[in-house]
Structure 1
């Protein structure tokens, strides 16, 4: 997996060198502007929703072709009130208020409600803690208009609270690397990218053919990606479309959010592996194998290795590290550090001495936390299946934001 990631990072680097040329080409060859519906699912988001709506009101996309729909999904705070104040100011914004039994079921349900009320030819999605840059929607739409084979266009997200504490710095490095390695790398080599939960555009016709989002999926974005692939489309990563979002500031919040992600991805693996031979587009297997190796074999192998190491210390099994094992350990560490630093070099102001030190620390701390998290998530998913438990959506905690200087990528 480490060598495969090195392969992906090479693709990410090559995409980094090329995407500006594509940006210029699309800029010079502007197509017609279709009507766009921007969906913003929001449940108890009063802390962040105003800044999100302010950013959306500053989009450069033509207002008369823009429809921003805020789905106030069974909120018990001032989310609906704040959203309504913006709807009164901007004629292209409207608010949908949901209540049980149809509302309050989670993000997928809210998005499906918004989809039914929307009229746009293209659907964009932003989380309620996002502040997209003014031209974000423009670039997402241009991607679909200039590439008929693309079922969806995925932009880039950056961390608003990256400098809050050590955890947010670690998450910032993780998100940058994920996008330039897994997203850009897979796009360059395989024309595959995973739809994230925010900052993406998808053709309405595709969503209608797929009957919207899967309301049983905790990772509704990953699950949707596989169904888009199966229709024969690819998903394009285009980093010129940029949004900024919050990340967890405490371990507790991080653990809950990432557990939901991991459980959601395990659900996707099980769902599509069981029906693999029924899939029309067998290319989906590339991503299925990637997720399978990452969540089960890679993490499982590392967990087994750690377990053997600890048992050897406690029980004196007399196991010794051979030269091959030492070489692999060193190579693994160097590959990890090289990939992280290369990804940081793509973003202005990120390749600093402080971040280099954090990357080294990350290998021995943050990365090891993921192993425990995936093991825990796997246990929860097995228990859910055995006892037929209902899937529950856990909302990520938001924070009052401190203004930060936002630098575009180099």
Structure 2
């Protein structure tokens, strides 16, 4: 059992060995690792932008293509189900076939799905494109975090790198509101999808040039197919049930049935993983106290971040009559505060350890959320909304970077992908809640 402030060696893996990268690859990383961080951060931005940028485009897309409100909901649900349910499988595939190949497949596939959605002439193609975005996003997100994990291993550099990555992860949704508002207002809703293509292309070029093959598992392990099928089914049911609560309420039969089925299947999955030779998610990853606490913190952060974006977007656009672009820019104070606390304070958080940073950040975020409960019809943006945004942003920045670092710290290289996937999975579940 480890403590929250410990610096832990990598955990041993039962059976097999891991092929280390050759020395030339190590020198390549050493000379360009901060450029590699830029590539990884750009890829992460592509994924997190999509959580909000498409939402801004939906009203215009609905007017253009003439689809129903039910179909509109499936544009959100289809992506969430595909992304949330396949994260663990995508992470493990990265461990088995290599992180760089999975990263490239995720980038190219996500960009292609985005272009398909942009040219869609009907709702069926648009829903399919959104689902494909979720599939390839589930490959891309774990690969990005696992590449970061194995590239930055020195304590201070790791803290800085995770600070940048955490700032992107936390602030990307708000950036999506700004970008989505601008693209919808001045170009077309289709550009909210097209924009992913050039960003992904830059990341692909950077990956090919900068990122060496960082090794992959040589255990000859196969994908845990029974575990994969069960956990995909469990996460689909859970994410759908949580999403359905928004439309039909928490007491709905569909909501309760799906949540109960999802929890049951996840329980069965854990039983399978306990006994299978090559588990999809080794239970030692979850059993570590530090890592388990980090996952819970990220789940709470996911819930808090999405709650702020959802509630304030509705409040500012409906009550305060902000335009989509004004609503996006209204979140700038939170983005700035989150970036400052996640990056400028990275060395401090590395020194004091994740325990104090996460506790302080959670406390600040709770205060910020409490301030939002006092908003009314006559509340001023400057005096009532901005303080809550700044305090919440500072808090989330203090939580996300050290929690992500702790969630992947000490993980054996063969498990970096699936441990990173667990980070995104807990955030996704939190966002669904």
By relative contact order (CA 8 Å, sep 6+), the higher-ranking structure is: 2
TM-score, normalised on structure 1?
0.29
* Structure that is richer in helix per residue: 2
TM-score, normalised on structure 2?
0.28
* Structure that is richer in strand per residue: 1
